[in-house]
């Protein structure tokens, strides 16, 4: 426990590679508000959108840290297992330091949320409360096969709804639908992690959604969510909810096909075959979302 800690260790502990899961729903929502700006009757506060983007990232960092603490405490993360930041299993940080680090990040996120609440409206309280509870109790929900559902609700619809609210002071429910393709891909980040860890999670006596499905079923879910993300964009174009330019998200399809090819190789007994699938799935979220956001920004001027 006496290893020297560097600044990069504090950064790595938050698992920054996973941040597209929280920041991309906020960014894509900001781009959608920009696309709809002429249809929105109230004044749009772009600075609050940026703060929502930052806040989403802070809450995810907090959740990652708190989750790593409890995963280590309950034996989910071990020397021989994959995943996590490995700051605890490699004894870079004492467990309590990681937990306190997570609480500090959570407090910063709550403080930012309260600032936005004071300057917007009461609906941000229940949106924020769900986010805080999901951040702290996610590890418990993951252990009883509810992690995928929580991630789907929070890392897409909820972040999108909150971002749109602080920007417009309106509950824009169509933003929930708009963020479903992003949520599908974000769930696949977690799902890839849980597929890889089926063997090791079983040893820790927890039960993730991937374990409930079994490897064959888990592969099917990954494929369905991947296809669903692209199909969702197509349907929104067909029904006139977004501009046809949004179809440029299909430029990210080669990355998805590469991920699907990797998924097909997955075996419970050989988790190393998909050891990087969660990071690759996060990369897809980033590219898909940036293309989606770019389409909205450009289409607003057409």
CA atoms within 13 A on the CB side of 246: 28
Radius of gyration of the chain (CA): 19
Question: Which tokens sit at 264?
Answer: 């097909």
- What is the three-class DSSP state of 144? strand
Structure tokens at 144: 């009883």
What is the spatial distance between Cα 300 and Cα 137, in angstroms, rounded to a whole number? 39
Task: Please tell me the distance from the alpha carbon of residue 87 to that of residue 200, in angstroms, as a whole number.
Answer: 18
Report angle CA 175, 285, 62 to the nearest 5 degrees: 80
CB-CB contact of 185 with 232 (8 Å) = no
Q: Distance between CA 63 and CA 154 in Å, rounded?
A: 12
Residue 120 and residue 169 in contact, taking contact as beta carbons nearer than 8 Å: yes
Q: Report whether 50 contacts 115 (CB < 8 A).
A: no
What tokens does 236 get? 């929104």
Encoded tokens for 273 = 């075959």
Residue closest to 226 by CA, chosen among 169, 290, 183, 270 = 183
Per DSSP, the residues of 162-215 read HHHHHHHSS--THHHHHTHHHHHHHHHHHHHHHHHTHHHHHHTT-B-HHHHHHH
Q: What DSSP state is assigned to residue 43?
A: P
* Distance from C-alpha of 198 to C-alpha of 71, rounded to nearest angstrom: 14
Residues with Cβ within 8 Å of 2's Cβ and at least 6 positions away in sequence, in order, are none
What token pair was written down for 134?
Answer: 């999901």
37's CB contacts (< 8 A; 6+ apart) are: 44, 300
Coil, strand, or helix at residue 145?
coil
Task: Write the CB contacts of 205 (distance below 8 Å, at least 6 apart in sequence).
Answer: none
Q: Where are the domains of the chain?
A: 7-299
**pLDDT tens, N- to C-terminus, the chain (302 residues):** 446 678 899 999 999 999 999 999 999 999 999 999 999 989 999 999 999 999 999 999 999 999 999 988 888 877 777 767 788 888 899 999 999 999 999 999 999 999 999 999 999 999 999 999 998 888 889 889 999 999 999 999 999 999 999 999 999 999 999 999 999 999 999 999 999 989 888 888 888 999 999 999 999 999 999 999 999 999 999 999 999 999 999 999 999 999 999 999 999 989 889 989 999 999 999 999 999 999 999 999 98
For residue 202, what pLDDT is reported? 82
| CA-closest candidate to residue 71, choices 61, 81, 58 | 81
């Amino acid at each position: 426990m006496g290893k020297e800690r560097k600044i990069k260790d504090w950064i790595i502990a938050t698992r920054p590679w996973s941040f597209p899961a929280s920041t991309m729903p906020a960014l894509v929502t900001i781009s959608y508000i920009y696309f709809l700006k002429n249809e929105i009757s109230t004044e749009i506060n772009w600075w609050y959108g940026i703060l929502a983007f930052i806040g989403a990232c802070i809450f995810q960092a907090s959740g990652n840290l708190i989750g790593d603490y409890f995963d280590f405490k309950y034996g989910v993360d071990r020397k021989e297992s994959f995943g996590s930041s490995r700051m605890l299993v490699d004894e870079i940080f004492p467990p309590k330091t990681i937990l306190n680090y997570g609480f500090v990040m959570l407090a910063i996120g709550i403080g930012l949320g309260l600032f936005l609440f004071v300057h917007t409206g009461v609906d941000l309280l229940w949106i924020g409360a769900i986010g805080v509870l999901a951040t702290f109790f996610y590890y418990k929900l993951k252990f009883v096969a509810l992690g995928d559902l929580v991630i789907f609700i929070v890392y897409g619809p909820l972040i999108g709804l909150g971002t749109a609210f602080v920007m417009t002071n309106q509950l824009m429910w169509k933003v929930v639908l708009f963020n479903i393709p992003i949520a599908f891909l974000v769930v696949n980040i977690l799902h890839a992690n849980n597929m890889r860890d089926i063997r090791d999670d079983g040893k820790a006596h927890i039960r993730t959604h991937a374990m409930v499905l079994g490897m064959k079923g888990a592969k099917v879910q990954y494929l369905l969510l991947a296809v669903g993300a692209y199909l969702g964009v197509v349907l929104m174009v067909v029904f006139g909810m977004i501009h046809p330019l949004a179809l440029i998200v299909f430029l990210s399809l080669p990355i998805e096909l590469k991920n699907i090819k990797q998924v097909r190789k997955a075996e419970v007994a050989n988790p190393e075959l998909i050891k990087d699938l969660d990071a690759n799935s996060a990369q897809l979220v980033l590219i898909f979302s940036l293309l989606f956001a770019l389409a909205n920004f450009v289409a607003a001027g057409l």
